[in-house]
Amino acid sequence: MAHVAQSRNVIRHVVSRGTAFRKYENAIHHPLLFACQGVRYRKLEVILTTGIEKLGKGGETVKVAPGYFRNHLMPKLLAVPNIDKYAHLIREQRKMRNYEEKEEVKVVHKSSEVQTKEFEKAAKRLANANLVLRKLIDKEKFKNRSSKEDKPDVQTPVTKEEIVSEVARQLCVKIDPDNVVLTEPLATFGEYEVPLKFPKTIPLPPGTVQWILKVKVRGH
């Protein structure tokens, strides 16, 4: 559409000049002038600047009634007279347009089967991975713990969103928080098996009943 608008701007500039048609020796005999003067003329040959339903495509030469050209096509610059200067302009504009259309990148949509295989591959990668999260220890709780066997608390518990972020950073796999089954944040250091929820179309590894992500929370 940008090329069509550009073509129309150039044409409008040419047509608006008072001496545009007087530069041509045979302009006085051109059907356009007869149409503008109200002289009856059977058909005019014009070049369409854009596609018009039931008339033709952009760049095509068609024959139309003088009144239709004078009252509708010409004022809106939907068509121009079939003379050399306009024909050359339209050809050059269409060359540029066609070249850019060839260079346009086509988006290829993946089939559901390909997407399922990619999801399955990503899920297996998560099941075989060990996600390590480094956190600061809560010194106050560490001093007041009741037993040395108690696991130290972290300053900021590990949330779903943090797990999703670290999975993307460490494992290069994108998942959503809805894929992580975490009833409450991980508040202490240690090793965890965090359940994952994936579509039923992704088969579970043999001998398992649920997808599991191994997470290790350790200190700096």
Block mean pLDDT (10 aa), the chain, length 220: 51 49 42 45 78 83 87 85 74 59 46 77 90 90 77 91 94 91 93 91 83 90
pLDDT for 158 equals: 95
Q: List the one residue out of 152, 173, 122, 165 whose CA is nearest residue 217.
A: 152
Q: How many helices (H) and strands (E) does the chain have?
A: 7, 8
Residue 48 near residue 56, CB atoms below 8 Å = yes
| pLDDT (0 to 100) of residue 162 | 95
Half-sphere exposure of 197 (CA within 13 A, CB side): 8
Chain centroid offset of residue 17 CA: 42
Please give the domain boundaries of the chain with CATH numbers for all domains. 117-219 (3.10.430.100)
CB 170 within 8 A of CB 183: no
The pLDDT value given to residue 109: 53
The pTM of the full predicted model, rounded to 2 decimals, is: 0.47
Contacts 24+ apart (CB under 8 A), 103-106: none
Contact 194, 217 (CB under 8 A): no
